Each structure stands twice: as structure tokens, then as C-alpha cells.
């Protein structure tokens, strides 16, 4: 991508919203706005005709919604996509359709910059094909493989050669920044009770509420203190000192009950490590 500009299409039925995106994009180096669309039908036509690298796609438009635009263009022809929406409930659907990111209106300049840089990296690393596979699976009514659903463009790195020693583990984090409607809130790790995964999201659960962040479970597991937290399932990390009981169900199923009464499934492959950490005698 260093040899040419990132070719961007804006699809939004609100003139002011299109103008804001155009203004923000014009400030960026190596970005070319190749076109705009004011409704879903026009968005389909322009995506097919112009073949941009990236499209900022409004979720709610006349003619076709953003999701319907994806279906009409077809996953194989769909460029990297950042969904734009004024409604929280559409954000999850956008990510389930394997978008690069989403912008929740009203968004600030910094949030826009984050989304653009994620998209730029994905295009540079030729990761759009991975999104295509997920789009095909989802639009055909299938389930996204866990490894794909938890992957993130921001974490895309080449595997280290087998001969190289594993990197030293970084110091555990003590807080996690969570973005909420244009504001950033810092959640102390000590307030976290457990974390669950939902596609490319992780939901942090505290005593007060839950917070959704775009982060892989593996990345969170690597950053949390292993003496305080344990991954007990592909999609669950739990704070060890809050476990009240290990529950053995029929058919070899396991779960833990936390002190607040929440029950969380335990993978069979992780039971032995959990028992060891809990001091359960064999």
C-alpha cells in the first residue's frame, strides 16, 4: 500500500455524515476518496464499479441496509468495510459480518483514526481474504470457526520461527481501557470477575456491569496475571479467587460457580489445570 493511496468509498444517506467523513479522510496521507453513495442501491453499484480498497458503510440506509449491501455485492467482491451506525445494536451484527471495525455516531476524530488505521493495516497485510471467508460462512447460515472469529486484524503477525526462543512474558496489566460512545473508561483489573468471548469481541464482567472491547481472548490471557486469572474455556477467563465451587455434571461436563452465583462452563481439556490451581485433591 505504500506505493499507492488507499482508495475509499463513503456510503451514507446523511449529507452531513458523508461530508464529515470526507473532511476527515482528506486530512489523511495516502488516501483517495474514489466516490460516495447516498443509499444502499447506489452503494452496491459504486462498490462493484469502483472496486475500492475500503468502504465506510452506513448500516441504516434507504434502498438497502449496510448488511443487504454486503449480501448484494457478495463477500468475494466486498472490500474491507467499516460500518457506521447510530445504533448500538447494529455494532454486534456488523462485527458478526466480519467488518474491520465500526463507528458509532457521533464519533470523535481519534475513534475515526483508530478505525482507519485498522483498515489500512488489514489491506496492507492482505487480510481481507480472511474476512471474505467469514462473510461467506455467516451469510450461508454457518458458524464462524473459533480461531477465525477471535482473530483480529490488529493482532495479525507472522509466526515466529520454531528455532527462536519464546519471548519473555510482559508484566501483567493493571487496567484495561474501554471505549464507550466516544469516551474512554479505565477498568481496573482488580474489578474484573470474568471475561467471555463473542466473536471478535471480549466482554469484561465486573460487579457493576459489563464492558465490550475488541480484543482476542488469547491476547487478554497473555496480558493478565496468570496467578490471578485462568482461561477455563476457549471463550471464558475467570478470576481464580472468585471461584466458589467446581461442578461436575453428567456426561463429563464441568462448570464453575462463582461467589456471585454465576456459572461458567469449563472445557474438559482445562479441568486438570483448574483442579491443580484450586488445590483439588485427586
- Statement to judge: residues 138 and 180 lie in one domain: no
Choosing from 123, 143, 163, the residue where a domain stops is: 143
pLDDT in tens, 93-143: 555 555 678 888 888 888 899 889 988 888 877 655 555 555 555 555 544
Number of folded domains that form the chain: 2
pLDDT in tens, 190-208: 999 999 987 667 889 999 8
Residue 110 lies in a domain: yes
From residue 195, alpha-carbon distances to 113, 143, 144 in Å are: 27, 21, 20
In CATH, what number is assigned to the domain containing residue 100?
3.40.50.2300
Grid coordinates representing 85?
451506525
* E strand spans, the chain: 6-11, 31-37, 54-58, 80-85, 101-104, 175-180, 183-188, 192-198, 201-206, 210-214, 229-233, 236-239, 243-248, 254-258, 263-266
* pLDDT at residue 12 in the model: 94
- Statement to judge: residues 139 and 52 lie in one domain: yes
Q: Please name which of 246, 214, 30 lies closest in space to residue 114, comparing C-alpha atoms.
A: 214
pTM of the model: 0.50
Residue 167 lies in a domain: no
- Statement to judge: residues 119 and 241 lie in one domain: no
Contact between 57 and 69 under an 8 Å Cβ cutoff? The reply is yes
- Statement to judge: residues 13 and 131 lie in one domain: yes
Residue 91 lies in a domain: yes
φ, ψ at 172 (rounded to 5°)? -60, 145
At residue 264, does pLDDT exceed 90? yes
- Statement to judge: residues 78 and 139 lie in one domain: yes
pLDDT in tens, 241-261: 999 999 988 777 899 999 999
pLDDT in tens, 28-58: 999 999 999 999 999 999 999 999 999 999 9
Residue 50 lies in a domain: yes
pLDDT in tens, 142-175: 444 443 334 433 333 333 344 444 445 557 888 8
Angle between helices 66-73 and 128-139 (to 10 degrees): 100
Contact between 56 and 80 under an 8 Å Cβ cutoff? The reply is no
Domain range enclosing 19: 6-143
CA distance 235 to 218: 10
Residue 238 lies in a domain: yes
Across the chain, mean pLDDT equals 80
- Statement to judge: residues 220 and 135 lie in one domain: no
- Statement to judge: residues 13 and 109 lie in one domain: yes
Residue 253 lies in a domain: yes
User: In DSSP terms, which residues pair with 175 in a beta bridge?
Assistant: 188
Amino acid at each position: 500500500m505504500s506505493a499507492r493511496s488507499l482508495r475509499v468509498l463513503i456510503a451514507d444517506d446523511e449529507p452531513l455524515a458523508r461530508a464529515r467523513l470526507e473532511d476527515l479522510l482528506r486530512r489523511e496521507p495516502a488516501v483517495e476518496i474514489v466516490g460516495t453513495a447516498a443509499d444502499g442501491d447506489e452503494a452496491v453499484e459504486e462498490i462493484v464499479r469502483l472496486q475500492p480498497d475500503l468502504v465506510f458503510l452506513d448500516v441504516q440506509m434507504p434502498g438497502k441496509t449496510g448488511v443487504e449491501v454486503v449480501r448484494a455485492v457478495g463477500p468475494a467482491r466486498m472490500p474491507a468495510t467499516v460500518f457506521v451506525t447510530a445504533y448500538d445494536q447494529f455494532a454486534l451484527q456488523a462485527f458478526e459480518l466480519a467488518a474491520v471495525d465500526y463507528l458509532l455516531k457521533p464519533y470523535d476524530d481519534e475513534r475515526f483514526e483508530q478505525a482507519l488505521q485498522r483498515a489500512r493495516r488489514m489491506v496492507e497485510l492482505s487480510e481481507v481474504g480472511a474476512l471474505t471467508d467469514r462473510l461467506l460462512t455467516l451469510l450461508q447460515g454457518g458458524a464462524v470457526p473459533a480461531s477465525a472469529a477471535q482473530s483480529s486484524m490488529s493482532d495479525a503477525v507472522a509466526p515466529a520461527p520454531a528455532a527462536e526462543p519464546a519471548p519473555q512474558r510482559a508484566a501483567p496489566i493493571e487496567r484495561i481501557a474501554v471505549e464507550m460512545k466516544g469516551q474512554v473508561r479505565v477498568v481496573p483489573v482488580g474489578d474484573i470477575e470474568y471475561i467471555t468471548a463473542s466473536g471478535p469481541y471480549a466482554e469484561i464482567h465486573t460487579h457493576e456491569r459489563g464492558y465490550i472491547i475488541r480484543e482476542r481472548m488469547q491476547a487478554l490471557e497473555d496480558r493478565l496475571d496468570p496467578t490471578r486469572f485462568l482461561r477455563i474455556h476457549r471463550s471464558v477467563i475467570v478470576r481464580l479467587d472468585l471461584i466458589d465451587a467446581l461442578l461436575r455434571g453428567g456426561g463429563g461436563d464441568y462448570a464453575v460457580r462463582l461467589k456471585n452465583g454465576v456459572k461458567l462452563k469449563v472445557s474438559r481439556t482445562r479441568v486438570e489445570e483448574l483442579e491443580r490451581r484450586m488445590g483439588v485433591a485427586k
